[in-house]
Structure 1
Amino acid sequence: MSVDFHQNFAQFFHALEILEPQEKSTQYMSFQSTLKEGAIHRFIPRTDLEVVVSDYSFHQEHRMNVSTAKPMVEISYCLQGTRGVHISNCEFEVTAGTCTMQLMEQVEANFIFNKDESYQMVGIGIPVTTFNHYMEKINGNDGTSTKFSTVLGGSPFRFFQENINPLDMLMVKQLLEALAANRLTNLELESTALQLLTRTCQTFFPHSTNPMEFSRDDRAKLVQARIIMAENMLNPPSIMELSRLVGLNDYKLKKGFKEMYGTTVFSYLREKRLEKACYLLQSGTMNIMEVANAVGYSNSSHFAEVFKEKYGLNPRDFVRYRSQ
């Protein structure tokens, strides 16, 4: 298995003027320049996986050019800061609260960092072979799995972006807390990184049992239907209303949603509500009744029942467990 993708991260660190290219399993890198401050933690829990935790800022606008050496896939969770990225004649903006996935061959990238803005990010990188392996596991080995070359479609670079899922945000924050307290084992780091990787792949490349039945336009409408449901947890539209909003008849909406996401529209809504509830309970800013109302449950007993069904603990025990 090729592990040369680590060179891409080393090139990025070298461009920041903090590291000569090398591949230690754990590195803590702090800035020495007066133009920037902060640090980067680099972890390589296994040869085909790299996890990078970045927390830094620049005292003036900073532009940086980086060339990738080897094909790779990277997912990144941006917790703070907004930065511009120019790759392959395309411009992107990475903002706080978003998750991005980048599939890249050998490309040149230009990064723009704003003056006096704090940047906090968690990145997870893997080689092409590992991406293809996990996509086959996610989508099955029946010939419908998504491959690196298929996604690129002849282009050297593809970029995907979406708001960070509440449960993923919880996992990322727990990861950061454990790393800061130096209480995360190498195996736990690997496990968490692979869970995030798998969940992100499922988000950006949902499995369809019959992908040829729906046109690209239909699939885009199904994605829009998912976004509408996730953004309207308190007052979700009915199936008929959702059909009108996205421009699909109710039969195609229900059938397509089940095939793309492996669940019904309202089962998906239930999952999103519970994931957000989990995050809100973890944050400690609301009591249990307030959390239930915030995710669309007016009956606290019913909320406790469905929460326990998903997480194995009722909300009160979950809060007590997390506080410990």
Structure 2
Amino acid sequence: MKPLFIADKKLKFIYKQIQQQIGGEPKDGLNRGMQLKGTHINGHVHGISFSNTISYIKYNVSLKEDLAVKVKSAHPNSSLYFMYCNKGSFLHIKQHGNSYKKIYENQTVVLKAGKAGIRFIIPKNQTNDVTIVKFNPKGYLKKEKQWASNLHDFQPVFKILNENDDFSHYGNCNLKIAEIIEQIDKVKETGVLKNIFMEGQVKLLLAFLIQQYINDLRYDTNSFELSNLEIQKVKRISSDIRQSPEKSYSIKKLTSQYAITPPKLQKGFKLMFEKTVTGYIKNSRLEMAEEMIKKREYTISEIVYKIGFSSKSYFSKIFKEKYGCNPKDYQDNIKKSLKNNINEA
């Protein structure tokens, strides 16, 4: 097992430590990350930080030897680490003793570094894609001059800072977080514009990670636990629905086709999408309808039929609830906007 020790300071310094210990080539002069390529490792690591209160770092690696990572925080009593496993898995080593906790794909973790730091193992022979957001809640609120007005909202987060050194929270799975990370990966802008886009997306990601933690506290997470196999089934079902929302679905058909019980299916969708299966299908159909309206290839009546609804009035009602106006007005607004653009040109 190969060790990697990181003193958690500025990102540029983190990349330099990675380069010195396991090799790699810098990207953009060590401002954006490292390209990792060698006998035992292949992949990349990159990130960005904002005002010393929020840092985002993401690694995607394939290893031929397990990598034991230890992160020593410069501010152990004020920084929290929100981790999310996009792909693969990793093992978190608890600070007292040598017990391990396996973190699966799409699962969240909240950690307080403490004096001993954070230790985790990136396993070999698989692709491991993990996102880490470091957050200083007190520093952030002071910087934003929102200290007094937001104490209540951040109370669950502040409570972690008062916990002992070995605090760790293993959260539930959340696919919405994966979608946000995907959008961060797709940012193509450069320079100042890229920083603006990235800051907005990273703050959105942090908000969802905090909300996931608060939601976990509200419910008995043990009663919602799903096996990794069940999580993969829910992901496949949601993917099939997204690709073909117009099809006729029923709980009975889905549970039979994917060999999952109705309670597990519903709990999976509630955990990962905060929606029931029916609500997810309805939302997917509405998003498909919006795209069809934008393309202006079909009438509203034709769209209603093509997305799997039988009632135009019901479709108009739920469309207005989601987008703030009925489908016809939405279509007219698009036409008006296009006309104005043409005239201005």
TM class by shorter chain equals 0.5 to 0.7
Matched, 1:86 2:93: yes
Matched, 1:40 2:45: yes
Matched, 1:161 2:171: yes
How far the C-alpha of 1:308 sits from its partner, in A, is 4.9
Correspondence 1:167-246 to 2 at 5 A: 168-179=177-188, 185-206=194-215, 219-221=218-220, 224=223
Measured at CA, do residues 61 and 222 of structure 1 come closer, stay the same or move farther in structure 2, by a change above 3 Å?
Answer: closer
The answer for the alignment partner of 2:57 in structure 1 is 52
Give the gaps of 5 or more residues in structure 1.
208-215, 237-244, 246-266
Matched residue of 1:178: which SS? coil
Matched residue of 2:129: which SS? strand
Correspondence 1:299-310 to 2 at 5 A: 302=314, 305-310=317-322
The answer for the alignment partner of 2:280 in structure 1 is 273
**C-alpha RMSD of matched pairs (Å):** 5.1
- State the TM-score, normalized to the length of structure 2: 0.56
Runs (4 or more) in structure 1 with deviation over 6 Å come to 131-134, 136-139, 231-234, 288-293, 297-301
The answer for the alignment partner of 1:104 in structure 2 is 113
- State the TM-score, normalized to the length of structure 1: 0.59
Matched, 1:126 2:129: no
How many positions carry a matched residue from both structures? 261
Measured at CA, do residues 44 and 108 of structure 1 come closer, stay the same or move farther in structure 2, by a change above 3 Å?
Answer: closer
Distance 2:324 2:88 in 1: 36
Encode CA deviations 1:150-197: one digit per residue, 9 max, x unaligned: 22553112223221243x332221221225x75962111111111121
Distance 1:6 1:304 in 2: 53
Matched, 1:27 2:32: yes
CA contact (8 A) 2:72 2:113 kept: no
Matched residue of 1:76: which SS? strand
Aligned counterpart in structure 2 of residue 62 of structure 1, from 67, 83, 90: 67
The answer for the alignment partner of 1:116 in structure 2 is 125
Encode CA deviations 1:180-229: one digit per residue, 9 max, x unaligned: x759621111111111212221221259xxxxxxxx9xx544995899xx
How far the C-alpha of 1:38 sits from its partner, in A, is 1.0
How far the C-alpha of 1:148 sits from its partner, in A, is 4.6
Give the gaps of 5 or more residues in structure 2.
1-6, 227-233, 239-249, 253-262, 264-273, 292-302, 335-345
Larger Rg: 2
How far the C-alpha of 1:117 sits from its partner, in A, is 0.9
Encode CA deviations 1:15-62: one digit per residue, 9 max, x unaligned: 56358xxxx993221225421111111212443221212211112233
Measured at CA, do residues 131 and 50 of structure 1 come closer, stay the same or move farther in structure 2, by a change above 3 Å?
Answer: same
Measured at CA, do residues 188 and 95 of structure 1 come closer, stay the same or move farther in structure 2, by a change above 3 Å?
Answer: same
Distance 1:301 1:226 in 2: 39
How far the C-alpha of 1:128 sits from its partner, in A, is 3.9
